[in-house]
Structure 1
Amino acid sequence: MKSHITELKQQVHALLREIERIEAKELEEKESFPLAELKERVTQYVKENDITIDTFCDLAMISKTTLYAAFNSPSSTKCSTIESIIAVFGNYTLYVGRTDAR
């Protein structure tokens, strides 16, 4: 009986590892990124779309001062500001998650 329980535990652990692998792959495919990369993402968007920072700010309906404040301290920026910025990128949603403690 005990070996049967051990075998079931091993199968459950294997399934959990597979679920974690699938979830990680789905996150990669969703093009998610941490707020720390906000400046890099905006810079990339501006270059790829051949627009100025001023135009980007107009599209996001924020000032350059607000954008630069978000670059310098994204974790202290209002959610509404972050949402305005990522709305320019297209169909993005702001998620909250734990940081990887590894």
Structure 2
Amino acid sequence: MSNLYALKQQLLMLLQEVERLESSYANLDEAFPLSEIKARVNQYCKDNSITVDIFCELAAISKATLYKAYSSPGSAKRSTIESILSVLGDYQLLVGRCNGN
């Protein structure tokens, strides 16, 4: 019977950890896949009435670098993505497993 109690305690601890992790992800205001980076940048430029050139200046990247990130966001340098995100707002780069969709 003591083994059953120990297993129950372990299960409860695991469930609490899962809830904590789910809560931390639920607290993210807005997450998006890198494939949406172009749409996000374009929307930001539209919302703030700026050109892509100005966006690039704010991100301290060249227009060519931005367009490379548009065409192949998964292959873009981490520093490039982080520069783009720094302009878009209070984002951080996270890595997650695809759900197969």
Is residue 15 of structure 2 the alignment partner of residue 17 of structure 1? no
Q: State the Cα deviation string for residues 39-71 of structure 1 (Å, max 9, x = none).
A: 121011111101121221232233322211110
2: CA distance, partners of 1:43 / 1:2? 58
Percent same amino acid among aligned pairs?
A: 40
Q: How many residues align?
A: 99
Which is worse superposed, 35-44 or 1-10?
Answer: 1-10
Structure 2 equivalent of residue 72 of structure 1 = 71
2: CA distance, partners of 1:13 / 1:91? 31
2: CA distance, partners of 1:80 / 1:21? 27
User: Structure 2 length normalisation: TM-score?
Assistant: 0.74
C-alpha distance 72-9 of structure 1, shift in aligned 2 (>3 A): same
2: CA distance, partners of 1:87 / 1:20? 25
Once the two structures are TM-superposed, the CA of residue 96 in structure 1 deviates from its matched residue by 4.6
Q: Where does structure 1 lack aligned partners over 5 or more consecutive residues?
A: none
2: CA distance, partners of 1:72 / 1:46? 18
Q: Which amino acid aligns with 1:100?
A: C
Q: Where does structure 2 lack aligned partners over 5 or more consecutive residues?
A: none
Give matches, 1:15-54, under 5 Å.
15-26=16-27, 28-29=28-29, 31-54=30-53
